[in-house]
Chain A
Amino acid sequence: MTTARILLIDDDPLVTEMYTLALTRAGHEVMSAGDGPRGLELAAGYQPDLIFLDVKMPRMDGIAVLSELSQDAMTRTIPVVMLSNYDDRKLVRQAESLGAKQYLVKAGTNPSDLAAVVEQWHEAPPPGGAAAR
């Protein structure tokens, strides 16, 4: 198991705290952002191996964040996994079309499951390779 650098973008501090705890225990390095703009800043500066992105956030929602991530050369290749309690079909499709690797529902995911998700995408082809899902 390799150590990955993870960025969590979520507006609920209790949720970030819980996931941080679980991912840290799994041996990963975690940073968190409480809103979209801060998330974009960290994504560019911190260059994480994987981003977990919430959808419903004040000021800037997850879809807008994802769109900006995919347009910025600095962040385009970072795999993004959506992690939200909203799961209507339209949102899922929108996220997929913007390049999200996976769409997970928080209430249906145990914190320990996130480690496996990290494994999957961290060991995926290196940046610049086939960017397909």
Chain B
Amino acid sequence: MTDPHEEGQGRLADLLGNSDAKARVRALAALLESATFSVVVFKTGPEITVDYLNRAASITAAVAPEAAVGLPVTQVFPTVDVSLLQKLLAGSRPGAPQAIKGLLATGSAYHVDSLRLDAQRVLVIGEEMGDEVSSRERLEALIESTDAIWRSSDLHTMAPLIVEQARRLLVDIDVGLCTQTADHPESLRVVAAHSDWLEVGLQIPTAGTFIGQAADTGLSVESTTAPEVSAMGPRLRGAGINTIRAVPITAGEPLPDGRRALGVLEFGKRAATPFTDAQRRLMDEFGKLVGLAAHRAELLADARESARRLELSLDVAIALASSASPRAIIELLLDRALVSVDADRATISRLEGQEFVVEATRLRSGELNWTGLRYPIESLERQPLVKRALETRSAVIGGQLNVTDAFEEVQQQLAKMRSTVTLPLLANHEPAGLLVVSRTTEAAFTATDVSTLQLMGNAAILALRTARLLEELRAANEVKSRFLNLAAHELRTPITLLRGYASMLSDGTIDAPNQMLAVKIIKDKSTELSRLTDELLLAVRIESGSLNVEVSDFDIVATVRAAVAELARDGVLIGSEVRLIGAENAMSARGDAQHVRTIIENLLRNAILYSDQAAEVQVRFAKNRDQIEVAIEDHGRGIPEAERDGLFQRFARVEDGGAMSTGGAGLGLYIARWLARAVGGELELIRSEPGQGSLFQLRLPSAPAPALNARPARSRKAAVITQV
């Protein structure tokens, strides 16, 4: 047995899929499968064969209905009078049904109606004689109904046609067609009628009426004492109508809004006698036929609406993609989202690392709030709706957001929302944001709404990414050009002196006693230039990610000593003192010794350059669990509070240092911290007081045991390196 639902779908597919009349009539015949009268399609030719027979016809067939198709008529219906049949088939012309009465087959008297479908096929209906209504008329009307009704685009356009055809089908019976809309579930409205007691526009309550019952149950209802039992009693009595049959016009499946019936056909007559079986079958079959046509029309309308939405979303997507400002993109998205699905509130959020950032909310009133609130991603645990949408990467229709923690204003807004859809926005198949759209009405968001929003939302999230990247790129470019300017300036400073003194030496401006001084300046500035070049190169390598880090175990004390020796050679330490405390033994650290030496040199150079008088710098070593701590403390100018925040950023320079120029590209601490982290350590400013000095701490992982060969302890408590 086929599932009736599947069967209905199949029939619909047949009807929709085939544009030629032959296929449609076949589909129509399928519809008549359940009819109690016989329907047979004969194929004419040298021999008459059976092309189709319905269930009723198969009862009189000699072979199983599945096997009958294609067989000669004499084999399928051995009792049939072939000469009479030949006459009937020969007389059938397309579009002109004919009827004969007689003994087509032995033993039964039939009304026989025929209609030529095409050059070869003829449809024949046989019904036992005795019916008052001519089956020829019915067949004709049914065939015509299909074509006429089929061409209509929706139930409302079809309505007058349906009523007209029903009248032809059922002579002397009043008929009206009512439809139900989602926003008025309590009544049905008459959209077409041929009667005195039903007029177009009349609202018929669903409660206590036959129409209502048929719409609710999806089944036909009949009564011969209608005025007594219907809520429409007085009206029926006034028109003298006693017998009513209400036939639901059903779709293949319940509608998304829960309706079972698209509408109801109501038939009525004065006589208080039941309708005949033939009439009932005709009414019910006609109802089914209209239902299929209407459902198809709804599907088509839906498809048209989807196409329109798709077009709209594509337009929005294009507009979004060409927008370069994140704010403009968000505004456009929220605006269009509300309009396109007729919603009242829309919020877009984005996922940024471990944070969930609510960007903005727009209300139908036009109010737009730039929220900017950030929540840790764990807080989504309390939002099952959002969590589910992000995890399943698909939209969640319905449900409510947990707003207990939200601002009162947001709580009030959301309290008014009755229907919500929560859509994850995907970029490269990964959740990158969230769009929540709500309505104040109960109307649920449809699949079309979701796909419209999804398309717009995904376009927006991609556009947002691009726009943000552009902004970052612009900022990075600005930083680069600032860097280049600064780099050029810093390199030119020593060059100015090199060039100046070299030219003065060669043109004789400098006399003999001053010549040694000039040479010393040239030497110092060459060193500075070379150091600056190294620093710039290091920064460029860090920025481009091409700096190598080679991790090994090394003695941190020896590394600091080497850094001090290097500074001494460069003359930086002149007049200053660097004390190493706790440096009696070697201390094995893990990292890149070369990079660590650069860190120490940078810290010591700063400590000395930012001291006005003879600098006294202390370097303290300590081991704390599995870390080596190197503290570098000076008693120099200190760092003003306002400059501490950006201290480790590129181009940071303490400018309020006093009269003496310190030079440098502002890269020393940036490089030092970067290197510290690159070797698995950390560099921090522990404290600083203007006029009192600063204390920096470098922490490095200590080398795991066995340690490096310990050096023999030094006799001095503190190593003092002084150069005057």
- By a beta-carbon cutoff of 8 Å, the part of chain A in contact with chain B is 11-15, 18-19, 21-22, 25, 34-35, 56, 58-59, 85-86, 88, 105-107, 110-112
Contacts and interface: CB of A to CB of B under 8 A. Distances in A.
B581 interface: no
A31 to B, nearest CB: 16
Interface-central residue, B491, B503, B514, B657, by most chain A CB under 10 Å: B503
Given A13-B661, A107-B493, 8 more contacts: A15-B496, A18-B504, A58-B661, A85-B488, A107-B491, A110-B503, A110-B504, A111-B503
B516 to A, nearest CB: 14
Contacts of A13: 660-661
Contacts of A11: 659, 661
B664 to A, nearest CB: 13
Contacts of B514: 21
A13 to B, nearest CB: 8
Contact of B489 (A15, A19, A85): A85
Contacts of A21: 504, 509-510, 514
B489 A56 contact: yes
A81 to B, nearest CB: 15
A107 B492 contact: yes
Interface in B490-513: 491-493, 495-497, 499-501, 503-504, 507, 509-510
B430 interface: no
Given A11-B661, A34-B659, A85-B489, A22 B504 contact: yes
B441 interface: no
A86 B509 contact: no
B521 interface: yes
Nearest to B494: A107
Contact of B503 (A25, A105, A106, A112): A112
A37 B499 CA distance: 29
A58 B660 CA distance: 9
Interface residues of B, number: 25
Contacts of A112: 503-504, 507, 509
A21 B655 CA distance: 28
SS of A interface (majority) = loop
Contact of A22 (B497, B509, B661): B509
B485 A85 contact: no
Interface-central residue, B501, B509, B514, by most chain A CB under 10 Å: B509
A112 B501 CA distance: 10
B504 A107 contact: no
B504 A35 contact: no
A59 B659 CA distance: 10
A48 to B, nearest CB: 21
A56 B485 CA distance: 12
A15 B496 CA distance: 8
A55 B491 CA distance: 16
Given A12-B661, A18-B497, A18-B501, A88 B485 contact: yes
Interface in B637-663: 655-657, 659-661
A14 B485 contact: no
Nearest to B653: A58
Nearest to A87: B488
Nearest to B525: A14
A23 to B, nearest CB: 10
A15 B497 contact: yes
Nearest to A56: B489
4 nearest A-B pairs in the assembled complex, by CB-CB distance: A107-B492, A85-B492, A106-B496, A110-B503
Contacts of B660: 13
A110 B499 contact: yes
Contacts of A56: 489
Contacts of A25: 509
Contacts of B661: 11-13, 58
Contact of B493 (A12, A35, A59, A111): A12
Contacts of B657: 58
A105 B497 CA distance: 12
A13 B656 CA distance: 17
A120 B485 CA distance: 30
Contacts of B489: 56, 85-86
14 contacts: A11-B661, A12-B661, A15-B497, A18-B497, A18-B500, A21-B504, A21-B509, A22-B509, A25-B509, A85-B493, A86-B485, A107-B492, A111-B504, A112-B507
